Every structure is written in structure tokens, then in C-alpha cells.
Amino acid sequence: MHSAPFADLDVSTLYALLRLRSDVFVVEQQCVYPDLDGRDTEPDTVHVWLTDPSGAVTACLRVLTEPDGTARIGRVVTSPAHRGQGLAARLLAEAVSIVGPRPAALNAQTTAIRIYERFGFTTSGPTFLDDGIEHVPMHRPAPS
């Protein structure tokens, strides 16, 4: 497991993270959207990723901080060759650790709702289309 803010990412790692996101979200899922939205570079953003034994990035996500202090988990992605191995769950466990006691939000593809529910997220609004893919907003309150 690896994690770092943008400023601490080396060029090769950054390229690998962005390549994986592009390969899955833009190419595989056929969503043409501005993945490079400026949020990756925010000082509070933490990138989390996993690599295989050769060092290739196999899965990643980012943890953002919203203006109200809520954490936002996003860009959760696993390479097709590494799906079904529990990598997303490992990433989410680390993301929840990074979030700590703050409330957290995310927009889940409807096919992935169950994995987020395992980490305390609940649906917080109606289903919506994002680039033609059904999503649902989810929220995890601050632990009491």
C-alpha cells in the first residue's frame, strides 16, 4: 500500500495513476470527461495506490477535502487484470483510515454500492447518470 500527497508523487507514479484512470474510465467505460480536474494537486488530496510485484500500479483512489471539511473519496479504480482480488477493499480500508473521524462522501457506481456499504457508507440521494453510468451519492457520518 502506498499513499502520498500530489507534491510527493514522482513523475513515473503520477503517470501510472493517471494512465490507469484513463484506461478504465475513459477507454473501457467510454466516458469522455475531464479526469484532470485540478483536484489531484490540492494540498490536502491524498493519493492511495497498490502495485504488483513488478511495481506496476494495479488499483488507486484519491481522498479529497471538501470546503466544509468533509472527506470525499473518488476515482476508485482497479485494473481489469487485477479485479476480484479484493484490491478495492484494501484501498477503501486505507482511505477510511486517512479520513479518520471526519464525515465522508462519494459517488458510487450502482454496481459497486455493496463494497462501500461494508465501510459504513449509506445511500444519501437518488440515482443519477454521470457520463451515462448510473451512480448514487453515498455518505459516511463521522463516528460517534
Report pLDDT digits (tens) over 42-53: 999 999 999 999
pLDDT band at 102 (very low <50, low <70, confident <90, very high): very high
Judge whether 108 and 61 are in contact, CB under 8 Å: no
> What is the sign, positive or negative, of the torsion defined by CA atoms of 35, 40, 42, 45?
positive
DSSP assignment of 41-54 equals TSTT-EEEEEE-TT
Largest separation between any pair of C-alpha atoms in the chain: 41
Q: Could you read off the pLDDT of 67-95 as tens digits, one per residue?
A: 999 999 999 999 999 999 999 999 999 99
Q: Average per-residue pLDDT in the chain?
A: 91
Q: Select the more confidently predicted residue: 71 or 20.
A: 71
Distance of alpha carbon 26 from the chain centroid: 15
As a whole number, mean pLDDT of residues 129-139 equals: 89
Residue 28: its pLDDT value, please? 72
- What residues does each domain of the chain span? 2-100
Residue 26: its pLDDT value, please? 72
Give the H or E element holding residue 99: helix 87-99
Residue 20: its pLDDT value, please? 86
Which of the residue ranges 61-65, 73-77, 85-89, 127-131 would you say has the lowest mean pLDDT? 127-131
What is 2-100's CATH topology?
Aminopeptidase (3.40.630)
